[in-house]
Structure 1
Amino acid sequence: MLTAEPPLTRRERFRHWRGMRPFGGAVMLTVSAAFLLLPAYTTLEVGDLLISISTISGVSTLFLGASMLLCAGSVLVRPKTRVTAGGGAMLLALVALPAANFGGFGVGTLMGVLGAAATLAWTDRSGAPPAETAAPRRPPTTLTAD
């Protein structure tokens, strides 16, 4: 009698999906984008004091935050774009430091650099054998006695 394996639960399917892409790096890039976008588009109310940041840097902040979200999304959807998206996210995080409210108060830049590094360092462990990096072996030479 054949016994079928039980179907995978949602948690197991998510764990498998998450293992096939740089999920941690993408989460850090998303948090970075949120911190980059937050200061320029929120209004804080402290007692009777209303704090609003709306300057010309809001356009660059919007561009940097949206581009960071794009990098995070592309890594999740297509893991093979990790080098391009990770390099772009690293560049965006470093440009955000002077251009976007001190990089989202420093936290956005820090999370962007860490997320980009995690994305660039990720390797696919889907079960495919790694390519040999050693030099190819030469066939053994046979000595003949004359």
Structure 2
Amino acid sequence: MSFRHWRWQRPFWAGLLTLLAGVPIVYIPYADPSFEELSFRLATTTGSGSLIIGILLVVLGLTFWYQRYARVFAGVAAILLGIVSLVVSNFGGYLLGFLLAMIGGGMGIAWAEGEAPGEEPAAADGRTGGR
């Protein structure tokens, strides 16, 4: 099976965006910014909370790829974790991780399995082809 065929059978872009949402949420609280005005925290558990939220978003992104039937659960969980990251993780990784989690979770919930590119749709009575 080719990568293109594999990608069309699951919410690939939702998984990729959700996976990428975890990166700034984990990275930014642990980074040592050279600009002091960019460093702010809203919670006392910013480090551990950010780490947990970021890892869970990465796992949910992989869930979109490998457990496509759990897409609604993974989408709702990604949206909820994105909202929680606003308070726990420097405004959700300076809003970058928050927005990626919102878009990826929404895409995962809205995804519906279609036909792979290049396949001809079957007729309603089971025959293929035109009249």
- Give the equivalent residue in structure 2 for 1:56: 45
1:106 corresponds to = 95
Over 3 Å counting, the alpha-carbon distance change for 1:18 and 1:85 in structure 2 is: same
Runs of 4+ residues deviating >6 angstroms: 51-55
SS in 2 for 1:43: coil
2:28 — aligned with what? 39
Superposition deviation, residue 45 in structure 1: 4.3
Structure 1 or 2: more helix by fraction: 2
> Retained in 2: the 8 A contact 1:86–1:117?
yes
Looking at secondary structure, tell me which structure has more strand per residue.
1
Residue 86 of structure 2 aligns with which residue?
97
Question: How big is the shift at 1:56?
Answer: 3.1
Look up the match of 2:129. Answer: none
Structure showing greater Rg: 1
Pairs aligned (count): 114
3-state SS of the aligned residue for 2:33? Answer: strand
- In 2, Cα distance between the equivalents of 1:98 and 1:53? 11
The superposition leaves residues 23-60 of structure 1 with CA deviations (integer Å, 9 ceiling, x where unpaired) of: 001111011101111111222346xx8x9889631010
Aligned to 1:88: 77
**1:22–1:76 CA contact under 8 A, matched in 2:** yes
Aligned to 1:21: 10
The answer for unaligned runs of 5 or more in structure 2 is 122-131
Q: CA RMSD in A?
A: 2.4
CA contact (8 A) 1:82 1:120 kept: yes
**Which residue number corresponds to residue 65 of structure 1?**
54
The structure whose RCO (Cα within 8 Å, separation 6+) is larger is 2
Task: Give the 3-state SS of the residue equivalent to 2:14 in structure 1.
Answer: helix
Task: Decide which moves more: 108-117 or 37-46.
Answer: 37-46
1:60-100: CA deviation from partner (whole Å, max 9, x where unpaired): 00010011111111111110010111110010001111111
Name 1:120's counterpart in structure 2: 109
**Identical amino acids, percent of aligned pairs:** 29
